[in-house]
Chain A
Amino acid sequence: MSILVIAEHDNKALNAATLNVVAAAQKIGGDITVLVAGSGAQAVADQAAKVAGVSKVLLADDAAYANQLAENVAKLVASLSGYTHILAASTTTGKNVLPRAAALLDVSMITDIIAVEGPKTFKRPIYAGNAIATVESGESVVVATVRGTAFDAVANDGGSAAVEAAASTGDAGISKFVSEEIVKSERPELTAARIVVSGGRGVGSGENYHTVLDPLADKLGAAQGASRAAVDAGFVPNDMQVGQTGKIVAPELYIAVGISGAIQHLAGMKESKVIVAINKDEEAPINAVADYWLVGDLNTVVPELVSKI
Chain B
Amino acid sequence: MKALVAVKRVVDANVKVRVKPDNSGVDLTNVKMSINPFCEIAVEEAVRLKEKGTVSEIVVVSIGPKEAQEQIRSSMALGADRGILVEADDSQLGALEVAKILKGVVEAEQPQLILLGKQAIDDDSNQVGQMLGALLGAGQGTFASEVKVEGDKVQVTREIDGGLQTVELGLPAIITTDLRLNEPRYAALPNIMKARKKPLDTKSPADYGVSPATKLKTVKVEAPAERKAGVQVKSVDELVEKLKNEAKVI
Q: Do A and B bind each other?
A: yes
Q: Is the CB of A127 within 8 A of B26?
A: yes
Q: Contacts A109-B95, A174-B139, A180-B164 given: A292-B239 contact, CB under 8 Å?
A: yes
User: Interface code A294-308, partner B: CB below 8 Å = 1, 0 otherwise?
Assistant: 110000010011001
**Which residues of B (203-250) have their CB < 8 Å from a CB of A?**
214-224, 227, 230-237, 239-240, 242-244, 247, 249-250
> Does residue A211 face the partner (Cβ distance < 8 Å to B)?
no
Q: Contacts A100-B140, A127-B121, A253-B243 given: A294-B233 contact, CB under 8 Å?
A: yes
Q: Contacts A179-B166, A292-B231 given: A108-B236 contact, CB under 8 Å?
A: no
**Which residues of A (245-279) have their CB < 8 Å from a CB of B?**
245, 247, 252-253, 263-264, 270, 273-276
Interface centre among B118, B127, B240 (most CB of A within 10 A): B127
Q: Contacts A174-B170, A294-B232 given: A264-B126 contact, CB under 8 Å?
A: no
> Does residue B194 face the partner (Cβ distance < 8 Å to A)?
no
Q: Is the CB of B232 within 8 A of A108?
A: no
CA–CA, A172 and B133, complex, Å:
12
CA–CA, A98 and B129, complex, Å:
12
Q: Is the CB of B230 within 8 A of A175?
A: no
> Does residue B187 face the partner (Cβ distance < 8 Å to A)?
no
Q: Contacts A127-B26, A179-B166, A238-B159 given: A92-B143 contact, CB under 8 Å?
A: yes
Chain B residues with CB below 8 A from A96, complex form: 130, 140, 142-143
> Does residue B162 face the partner (Cβ distance < 8 Å to A)?
yes
> Does residue A218 face the partner (Cβ distance < 8 Å to B)?
no
Q: Is the CB of B232 within 8 A of A287?
A: yes
> Does residue A220 face the partner (Cβ distance < 8 Å to B)?
yes
Q: Is the CB of A126 within 8 A of B221?
A: yes
Chain A residues with CB below 8 A from B129, complex form: 99
> Does residue B131 face the partner (Cβ distance < 8 Å to A)?
yes
Q: Which residue of A lies closest to B119 (CB)?
A: A245
Q: Is the CB of A131 within 8 A of B240?
A: no
> Does residue B178 face the partner (Cβ distance < 8 Å to A)?
yes
Q: Which residue of B lies closest to A105 (CB)?
A: B134
Q: Contacts A91-B161, A127-B11, A131-B223 given: A71-B139 contact, CB under 8 Å?
A: yes
Q: Which residue of B lies closest to A121 (CB)?
A: B219
Chain A residues with CB below 8 A from B224, complex form: 125, 129-132, 270
Output the least CB separation between A120 and chain B (Å). 10
> Does residue B91 face the partner (Cβ distance < 8 Å to A)?
no
Q: Contacts A99-B126, A178-B168, A252-B249 given: A134-B133 contact, CB under 8 Å?
A: no
Output the least CB separation between A3 and chain B (Å). 19
> Does residue B14 face the partner (Cβ distance < 8 Å to A)?
yes
> Does residue B13 face the partner (Cβ distance < 8 Å to A)?
yes
**Which residues of B (95-132) have their CB < 8 Å from a CB of A?**
95-96, 99, 118-119, 121-132
The count of chain A contact residues (Cβ–Cβ below 8 Å) is 86
> Does residue B74 face the partner (Cβ distance < 8 Å to A)?
no
CA–CA, A82 and B197, complex, Å:
53
Pick from B13, B118, B124, B163: contact of A183, CB under 8 Å: B163
Q: Is the CB of A137 within 8 A of B168?
A: no
Chain B residues with CB below 8 A from A93, complex form: 160-161
Q: Is the CB of A245 within 8 A of B178?
A: yes
Q: Contacts A126-B221, A128-B124, A175-B169 given: A253-B250 contact, CB under 8 Å?
A: yes
Q: Which range contains the number of B residues in contact with the other chain?
A: 35 or more
Chain A residues with CB below 8 A from B11, complex form: 127
Q: Is the CB of A292 within 8 A of B230?
A: yes
> Does residue A104 face the partner (Cβ distance < 8 Å to B)?
yes
Pick from B16, B158, B178, B222: contact of A132, CB under 8 Å: B222
Output the least CB separation between A2 and chain B (Å). 20
Q: Is the CB of B236 within 8 A of A175?
A: no
Q: Contacts A131-B221, A287-B230, A301-B236 given: A99-B127 contact, CB under 8 Å?
A: yes
Q: Is the CB of A292 within 8 A of B140?
A: no
Q: Contacts A134-B220, A245-B179, A301-B236 given: A103-B121 contact, CB under 8 Å?
A: no
> Does residue B66 face the partner (Cβ distance < 8 Å to A)?
no
CA–CA, A136 and B215, complex, Å:
8
CA–CA, A130 and B26, complex, Å:
9
Q: Is the CB of B121 within 8 A of A178?
A: no
Chain B residues with CB below 8 A from A245, complex form: 118-119, 178-179
**Which residues of A (181-197) have their CB < 8 Å from a CB of B?**
181-183, 191, 195
Q: A178-B167, A308-B236 are in contact. List 15 more A-B contacts (CB 8 A).
A: A108-B215, A109-B95, A128-B121, A135-B217, A136-B216, A175-B169, A181-B163, A191-B161, A253-B243, A287-B232, A289-B227, A291-B231, A294-B234, A295-B232, A309-B243
Cβ contacts A to B, 17 pairs, < 8 Å: A70-B133, A70-B140, A95-B130, A96-B140, A103-B132, A107-B96, A131-B26, A131-B221, A133-B218, A136-B217, A175-B169, A180-B163, A253-B243, A291-B227, A291-B230, A291-B231, A301-B236
Chain B residues close to A by CB (< 8 Å): 11, 13-14, 16-17, 19, 26, 94-96, 99, 118-119, 121-135, 137-140, 142-143, 145, 155, 158-170, 178-180, 214-224, 227, 230-237, 239-240, 242-244, 247, 249-250
Chain A to chain B: the 9 pairs with minimum beta-carbon distance, closest first: A103-B134, A99-B130, A103-B131, A99-B127, A138-B215, A175-B139, A178-B166, A174-B139, A253-B249
